[in-house]
Amino acid sequence: MARELTLICPGPESPRLSALLSAVRKAHPFQRVSWMTDDLRDRRLLIAAAIPPSGVNLELYQLLAFLRTHPGCLAGSTAGVVIDGTGDLYTKAAGRDLVLSASRAGCVFPGRPLVEATGTLRNFTVQARNAGCGLEEAYQLAVADLMDRVSTFSPPLRRRPQLLVLHASSHATSNTLALWGTVRTHLEDRCAITEVGLRNGTMEDCAGCPYTTCLHFGEQGDCFYGGVMVQEVYPAVREADAVVLLCPNYNDALSANLSACINRLTALYRTTSFADKAVFAIVVSGYSGGDIVARQVVSALNMNKGFWLPADFCMLETANDKGEAMALPGIGARANQFAINILRQLTV
């Protein structure tokens, strides 16, 4: 059942964004509220912001600050994001920051929750060609589709959800795997868990095959390079209700093998919808930067591959030396709470 949408617009609207909202409102009514004064819990939200060529919308940063300092302020809400740019840069970065901060404030996002418009609208070239329309109309269609999906989204619940855990770490030394081991003990009785290791020698990265080649292999449940992706990961992803990525922070980035795995999911994505599959992550940084890796998970799996993003989807910790993660103050309670959060959002 569709629910009424609530619109939040941090900062001044650009003429194009104002015209867009006026056009889509005829078919998708919404009410406007202020994030500074109104209760934002248990709503279906559309957050729409215009950004200048610099990428800096000061009111949008004020909203980010509010979300980051008010845990639970979006509890029970589901949202989509529209970023309208005047230049060709910074639109996705702004949307990614917003989605991560809102998720940690309790908000759920369906797959592909961001509609970004660059100044030229050239990023809608393919959509316009496929729809047989102009760039402006393709932009409107994308926002209307997002509003539909936000207003009707309902996370699927299971009695015993299937979890696929992907990692590329060593059990002997990894803080991330040790932390996952503690989280797992709280999940085993209520979830079916499959773990796949993507260590050196088992993964080849995507070579960027032509679309028709990728589609051909995807239709057969295959990929040009085969290997562990086809033998283990593809079947497990098809069966999974959620994917849990175990992400040590390597130079402020996902590890090479995890990145290759995400890239290689493209062949399966051509023929299989991930819209009913959630993504969670455990990110452990040696010194800092866990939020950078979490944003990469948001971009790659939620915004691009279409996995839905649960509220507070990631556990972020800082630990460097072997065994340090499990000695962090309060780590047992945080691991237990993360497991509870997974169960709360996946189980009946």
pLDDT tens for 304-348 read 999 999 999 999 999 999 999 999 999 999 999 999 999 999 999
CA dihedral 156, 157, 160, 162 (to 10 degrees): 30
CA–CA dist 193, 184 (Å, integer): 9
pLDDT greater than 90 at residue 273: yes
Q: What is 162-346's CATH superfamily?
A: Flavodoxin domain (3.40.50.360)
| Beta-carbon count within 10 A of 54 CB | 10
pTM, 2 dp: 0.93
CA–CA dist 307, 265 (Å, integer): 12
Q: Are 48 and 87 in contact (CB under 8 A)?
A: no
Would the CATH topology of 5-152 be identical to that of 162-346? yes
Instruction: Tell me the C-alpha to C-alpha distance, in Å, between residue 80 and each of 41, 137, 149, 208, 217.
Output: 15, 19, 9, 29, 32
| Beta-carbon count within 10 A of 241 CB | 20
Whether the CA torsion 153, 155, 157, 162 is positive or negative: it is: positive
Q: For the chain, give the mean pLDDT.
A: 92
Whether the CA torsion 99, 103, 105, 108 is positive or negative: it is: positive
The domain limits of the chain are 5-152, 162-346
CA–CA dist 101, 83 (Å, integer): 15
CA–CA dist 8, 69 (Å, integer): 18
- Residue 150 tokens read as 């936000």
φ/ψ of 255, rounded to 5, equals -60, 155
Q: How confident is the model over 108-118, as pLDDT tens digits?
A: 999 999 999 99
Residue holding tokens 């949408």? 5
Topology, domain 5-152? Rossmann fold (3.40.50)
Q: How confident is the model over 200-247, as pLDDT tens digits?
A: 655 555 455 554 554 445 445 455 555 678 889 999 999 999 999 999
More confident residue, 7 or 2: 7
| Beta-carbon count within 10 A of 105 CB | 23
